[in-house]
């Protein structure tokens, strides 16, 4: 162990004085990158079994390593569900009476050696997401969002037709049952809960006259001992309602996480969100929506949500994309993982996406192409942008962190201090990966990575220059080790 100047040396010594029974590979052959390259498989127009296979094969041929696959859209599952059958509802989306899309997709993903995350649109059944009109809220009208009685004539009332209320306990349990059966029955690696178009929003009653359904009114009066409609008459009362809606949203996600983790401890639970923290900033123009009653930074900080997939549905403008990534990393929790999802119109646009995600501490990206890939597209993307092999960062976060730190080590092999220091880090993280490590050991690695980053920032290495790429890799490694903490903790 080299002598590290100042406080950092003292902090790391207790952890590294043990001799580690591993041999570190000294080879310099090309190691895979720790980079999540998600491919969003669009279901809005329906698909055939042949299409799913072809689309997934092309995505993998292009160099993607993760498929985001729809499993619950517009109230229908894309697998035969016992939960919906038991509720007396269609057990599968009517487009798929003869085959099981999720079973096929998991099998194909396994054959191709890529990851698969199941996407659920739990609350928003807007017709644009599926050619099959939704029926769930017709079958269970109590599960709908309900408008405030003074706003029955508002045009916003149409949301009652396609948005489910997250507060309704029966629907909450139904969602929990779906998640539980999904995680138990299918070999998927992660769950993405899509929260875009969520029903509970901040702002005045005029801006968002929701939700005043029976369930909300009962819950509110149980918790606050006050009448929700009476409260809604005053500004202070509305502030109290919005605050409660935020709390109940947190509670709902906490419950869903509990159901997922209880079924399988190490599965990833990710949410997808619109960047509401950017809505009222300079380049966003006039605010079109009020924010959702969800505090993402808090949810990420508490580990209720492990990572946020952030929608970048705007057109890709290279400079703007970078600055938006920076703003996401600043606004969201400083230790949390962020994965941007970007709409791609032509394969060339991936160039600027790749450049930006490799510059900032995000784990990769999810591409949503506006048309299915052709063989030519796949070959072009692989050749030009994704030729280096890559591992999904979230699947084995400690292995991914070790890859990043090893990269830093190789980059600085000219500098003895940095090189030796990184070698010790790599050993620690690799050992943590191979052996079941305690939460304390992982948290200590996190702390030390933060200490290292701060020491570099404060110029502790004196004349030796350390670039932003190293700070980025150390920052991302730290976020990944923190993700590994959730697996041990939960
Ligand atoms: Zn409600």
62 CA to centre of ligand 1 in angstroms: 44
144 CA to centre of ligand 1 in angstroms: 7
Average confidence (pLDDT) over 206-212 = 96
| Residue 309 DSSP symbol | E
Paired sense of beta strands 76-77 and 66-73, if any: antiparallel
Three-state SS letters, 351-408: HHHHHHHCCCCCCEEEEEECCCCCHHHHHHHHHHCCCCCEECCCCCHHHHHHHHHHHH
Q: What is the pLDDT of residues 288-329, one digit of tens each?
A: 678 999 999 999 999 999 999 999 866 667 778 888 898 899
* Tokens describing residue 392: 């999904």
* Tokens describing residue 324: 């938006």
214 CA to centre of ligand 1 in angstroms: 7
Top-ranked range on mean pLDDT: pick from 26-30, 58-62, 300-304, 323-327:
58-62
212 CA to centre of ligand 1 in angstroms: 5
127 CA to centre of ligand 1 in angstroms: 21
223 CA to centre of ligand 1 in angstroms: 14
Q: pLDDT at position 45, please?
A: 85
44 CA to centre of ligand 1 in angstroms: 27
Average confidence (pLDDT) over 40-62 = 94
Instruction: Determine if the pTM surpasses 0.85.
Output: yes
Please tell me the CATH superfamily of domain 36-392, with its number: Glycosidases (3.20.20.80)
> Which residue, among 15, 169, 64, has the nearest Cα to 392 in the 3D structure?
64
147 membership: H or E segment, kind and range: none
Neighbours of ion ligand 1 (CB under 5 A): 165, 167, 211, 213, 216
Please give the Cα distance from 69 to 114 (Å, whole number): 12
Please give the Cα distance from 222 to 215 (Å, whole number): 10
226 CA to centre of ligand 1 in angstroms: 16
Computed over its alpha carbons, how large is the radius of gyration of the chain?
24
CA angle 173, 177, 183 (to 5 degrees): 145
Q: What is the pLDDT of residues 377-404, one digit of tens each?
A: 999 999 999 999 999 999 999 999 999 9
Judged by average pLDDT, the poorest of 10-14, 132-136, 167-171, 288-292 is 10-14
- In the chain, residues under CATH classification 3.20.20.80 are 36-392
202 CA to centre of ligand 1 in angstroms: 14
205 CA to centre of ligand 1 in angstroms: 14
> Which residue, among 459, 483, 461, has the nearest Cα to 338 in the 3D structure?
483
Please give the Cα distance from 480 to 402 (Å, whole number): 10
Q: pLDDT at position 457, please?
A: 85
């Amino acid at each position: 162990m080299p002598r590290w100047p100042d406080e950092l040396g003292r902090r790391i010594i207790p952890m590294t004085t043990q001799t580690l029974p591993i041999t570190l590979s000294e080879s310099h052959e090309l190691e895979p990158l720790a980079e999540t390259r998600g491919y969003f498989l669009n279901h809005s127009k329906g698909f055939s079994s042949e299409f799913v296979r072809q689309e997934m094969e092309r995505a993998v041929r292009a160099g993607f390593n993760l498929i985001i696959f729809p499993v619950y859209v517009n109230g229908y599952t894309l697998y035969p569900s016992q939960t919906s059958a038991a509720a007396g509802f269609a057990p599968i989306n009517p487009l798929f009476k003869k085959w099981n899309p999720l079973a096929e997709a998991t099998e194909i993903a396994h054959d191709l050696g890529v990851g698969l995350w199941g996407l659920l649109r739990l609350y928003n059944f807007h017709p644009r997401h599926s050619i099959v009109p939704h029926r769930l809220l017709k079958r269970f009208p109590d599960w709908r969002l309900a408008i405030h009685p003074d706003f029955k004539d508002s045009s916003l009332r149409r949301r009652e037709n396609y948005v489910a209320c997250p507060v309704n306990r029966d629907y909450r349990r139904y969602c929990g049952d779906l998640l539980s059966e999904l995680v138990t029955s299918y070999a998927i690696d992660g769950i993405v809960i899509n929260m875009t178009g969520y029903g509970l929003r901040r702002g005045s009653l005029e801006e968002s006259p929701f939700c005043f359904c029976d369930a909300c009114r009962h819950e509110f009066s149980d918790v606050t001992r006050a009448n929700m409609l009476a409260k809604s008459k005053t500004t202070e009362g509305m502030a109290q309602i919005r605050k409660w809606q935020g709390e109940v949203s947190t509670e709902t996600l906490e419950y869903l996480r509990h159901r997922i983790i209880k079924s399988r401890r190490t599965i990833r639970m990710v949410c997808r969100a619109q960047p509401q923290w950017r809505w009222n900033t300079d380049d966003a123009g006039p605010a079109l929506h009020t924010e959702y009653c969800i505090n993402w930074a808090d949810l990420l900080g508490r580990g209720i949500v492990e990572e946020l997939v952030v929608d970048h549905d705007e057109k890709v403008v290279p400079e703007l994309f970078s600055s938006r990534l920076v703003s996401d990393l600043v606004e969201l929790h400083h230790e949390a993982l962020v994965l941007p999802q970007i709409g791609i119109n032509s394969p060339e646009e991936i160039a600027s996406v790749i450049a930006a995600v490799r510059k900032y501490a995000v784990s990769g990206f999810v591409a949503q192409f506006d048309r299915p890939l052709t063989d030519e597209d796949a070959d072009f993307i692989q050749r030009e942008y994704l030729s280096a092999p890559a591992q999904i960062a979230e699947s084995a976060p400690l292995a991914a962190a070790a890859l990043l730190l090893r990269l830093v080590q190789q980059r600085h092999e000219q500098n003895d201090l940095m090189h030796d220091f990184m070698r010790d880090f790599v050993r620690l993280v690799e050992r943590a990966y191979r052996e079941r490590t305690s939460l304390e050991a992982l948290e200590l690695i996190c702390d030390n990575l933060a200490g290292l980053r701060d020491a570099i920032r404060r110029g502790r290495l004196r004349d030796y220059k350390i670039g932003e790429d190293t700070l980025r890799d150390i920052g991302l490694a730290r976020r990944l080790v923190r993700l590994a903490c959730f697996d041990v903790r939960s």
